Amino acid sequence: MTGTIEVMRQHRSIRKFTDETIAAEQLQAIMAAAQSASSSSFLQASSVVRVTDRALREAVMPLCGNQAYVAEAAEFWVFCADFYRHLHWVPEAKTGYAEQLLIGAIDTALMGQNAITAAESLGLGGVFIGAVRNQPHELSALLGLPQGVIPLFGLCLGHPAQDPEPKPRLPAPLVFMENRYQSEPDVAAMANYDERVRHYYQTRTGGNKDTSWTGQIAATLAKEARPFMLDFLREQGFCLK
């Protein structure tokens, strides 16, 4: 096993950080790694807003579920799908297609994954913040995001002040399939995984959380999440056709 694979396998979300800043050369290395991610058709349809102003951080935090580490982590970056740049330099470019939303989201997610992997390889830690999509209009106004740009997720980075164990992932046979989709998954494997997840949560929370993976999915998908997103996407010039 390589060191790179080991870093990836030991990934866990860090939500408590020390007060130590991240060295400039480390930040530059993380940015370079993020930009080295694959890009569909070389469109490079992503931008990252690094929020360094403390007052702005404090204003952003309530828009992201009041998660304290958004304000407290050494770094907070907002990853965006971006077609504004394309229209700025090539005004006749045809945009607004649903496929372009997928391209922007995929390109940006790959950048984010490269960034967190690079950070963890340097002994740093981080956590992705999907809650940047809780109030996208307000966040876009604070960050000055023009039409053609949408915030997809945030990333807190810093020196870890905790050492949680990695969350157990689904058994590989339930995820990796050969030749055809397996629509009848292994019931016993799922039952065993549910118990592993239940044990993980009980251990992590001192018995305060008692749920399985399927139980968590039932709770999470019991209602529509962020029903305003389609209107916001269209206002920003995405999914028009």
Same domain? 70 vs 186: no
Same domain? 34 vs 114: yes
Supply the CATH number for residue 40's domain.
3.40.109.10
Answering whether pTM is above 0.85, one says: yes
Domain count along the chain: 2
Same domain? 93 vs 178: no
Task: Evaluate whether residue 219 is within a structural domain.
Answer: no
Same domain? 191 vs 140: no
Same domain? 154 vs 181: no
Q: H or E stretch including 164?
A: none
Domain that holds residue 62: 3-165+224-235
* Residue 13 · residue 127 · CB < 8 Å: yes
- pLDDT of res. 138: 98
Q: Which residues contact 78 (CB under 8 A, 6 or more apart)?
A: 48, 49, 51, 132, 139, 143, 151, 153, 154
Task: Evaluate whether residue 240 is within a structural domain.
Answer: no
- pLDDT of res. 207: 86
Same domain? 8 vs 78: yes
The per-residue pLDDT string of the chain (241 residues; one tens digit each, 9 = 90 and over) reads 899 999 999 999 999 999 999 999 999 999 999 999 999 999 999 999 999 999 999 999 999 999 999 999 999 999 999 999 999 999 999 999 999 999 999 999 999 999 999 999 999 999 999 999 999 999 999 999 999 999 999 999 999 999 999 999 999 999 999 999 999 989 999 999 999 999 999 998 888 999 999 999 999 999 999 999 999 999 999 999 9
- pLDDT of res. 1: 85
Task: Evaluate whether residue 37 is within a structural domain.
Answer: yes
Cα distance between residue 54 and residue 235, in whole Å: 29
- pLDDT of res. 112: 98
Task: Evaluate whether residue 54 is within a structural domain.
Answer: yes
* Residue 101 · residue 40 · CB < 8 Å: no
Same domain? 158 vs 177: no
Same domain? 123 vs 83: yes
Task: Evaluate whether residue 215 is within a structural domain.
Answer: no
Please list the alpha-helical segments (H only) found in 90-223: 98-121, 136-143, 187-204, 213-220
Task: Evaluate whether residue 43 is within a structural domain.
Answer: yes
Q: What are phi and psi of 129, to 5 degrees?
A: -120, 95
